[in-house]
Amino acid sequence: MKEILEIFVCCLEICIPYWWTGKLAEKRELRRGIKVLWNICLLIWIGLLYCQCSIAFYSRWYLLFEIAGTVLLAKWRYRIRWRDAFAVAGIFYESLYFLYLMALIAVEYSAGYDAMIKIHFGINYPQIRITAVSLLLVSVAFWIIYRVQKQSLEVNGMMENRLVIVPVIQHLLLGFCDQVFFEPDRLFVLKQGFFGMLGYICILLILAISYILKKGKYEVNELEKRADAAEQKYQERIEGDRERDILVHDIRNHLIVIDSILQNGEADRARNYIDKLQEDYCNIRQSFHTGSVVVDAILGSKTYQAENAGVRFKIVSDDLSDSFVSDRDWCSILSNLLDNAIEACGKMEGKGWIRVRLENRPFGMVWVIENTCPDPQDDRTETKPKRRGVRHGTGLQSVRYAIQKYNGFLDQKRENHIFRTTLVLYREMIK
């Protein structure tokens, strides 16, 4: 029975880091044969861990091997940077092995050196209990960190550079503490355990202070962006009102001119004059009132950009004043999706249109963007080359990173000459 339980906890120890990696990164689209091969490697990894546990419960050298293998498999299966994969695997396993070691130190101090050695070598029930409790504690800690951090993930990288050094410091602490295996003196064991715990507390305090500082800087940046968006909206509104006032003020003079032209029998010239007035009126920027100054600024800017490209733009929006989406994510998601839609419509030779619907529902946000697009099988369609130095798909990758914060999803479908993007973001429900 204990062998079955040991296999089960080994499966958890191997699979939990990949589950957390999946929460932070997107899975790669692998062929069926490659997926089977990856799963076989995962089973081999579990078997190697079981063999190690049957020999010795704690091994700092096998820990390095376990981290390296986990990073390689994570990089193979997920779209994640090497730095991020190392941070996730390193912090998880170093924390896990630290709890293993603290449990062994506690046993040695309370029950003696022989009791600790008995648990350390071979498979036994105390070892299984220690593993299960340690996995639970580390998983809870990761869940708390994930819940705290997910609202402030950066689109260019999920982990900070400073987190990469944390596993290194943890490993040095393990090297300091595992000297208890060679010294049965109870006072020495107590000293090693105390300084090990003190080192971990210092790491946690440094990370907490770093997070508080980062959060403060993030909030300041958010306020600055909101102020810039409000200022942009205000200036656009002033400019639009000024152009509209000028047009209205001069309307009587325009009517006199048109009447004179018609009296001279120049109907075509009068028509051209009227068309020019309509063009001037259409060039006045539209003003939006969605309840979010950032969304208003984005919609105003993108509408102006679309109209200059000859693209018809229609927007329907609910009241977004109680939006749970951060200003930065509004900008990342909405701007990139509208840029893609305008680019596709620009290839339709004056026949392009965009329809945007922003719905604010009790469970979250539903955004639907529809636009015309050229048929990829149409040989007459000319694709405009991308600017050099801009990686294709970077904008969409930025959108996906932002969506992850709200446990949402993105669905994109093409039907003939219409491209439809549906985006769902879930608000965090208060339990």
Q: What's the confidence (pLDDT) of residue 351? A: 76
pLDDT given for residue 385 in this prediction = 43
Contact 271, 260 (CB under 8 A): no
pLDDT level of residue 396 (50, 70, 90 thresholds): confident
Average pLDDT estimate for 127-138: 90
| pLDDT tens figures, 225-244 | 666 666 665 566 666 556 65
DSSP for 277-341 reads HHHHHHTSPP---SS-HHHHHHHHHHHHHHHHTT-EEEEEE---TT--S-HHHHIIIIIHHHHHH
For position 431, what pLDDT does the model report? 35
Mean pLDDT, the chain, rounded, equals 78
C-alpha–C-alpha distance, residues 402 and 143, integer Å: 19
**Quick check: 107 and 115 in contact, CB under 8 A?**
yes
Range list for CATH 3.30.565.10 in the chain: 289-431
What is the mean predicted confidence (pLDDT) over 249-265? Answer: 72
Whole-angstrom distance, CA of residue 23 vs CA of residue 27: 10
**Contact in structure between 67 and 89 (CB atoms under 8 Å):** yes
As given in the structure block, the two tokens for residue 43 are 């089973």
Question: Which phi and psi angles does 368 have, rounded to 5°?
Answer: -125, 125
Please state, in angstroms and as integers, the Cα–Cα distance from residue 230 to each residue in 234, 235, 284, 332, 366, following that order: 6, 9, 19, 17, 24
Say which CATH superfamily domain 289-431 falls into: Histidine kinase-like ATPase, C-terminal domain (3.30.565.10)
Kindly give, in sequence order, each residue whose CB lies less than 8 Å from that of residue 282, ignoring residues fewer than 6 positions away: 307
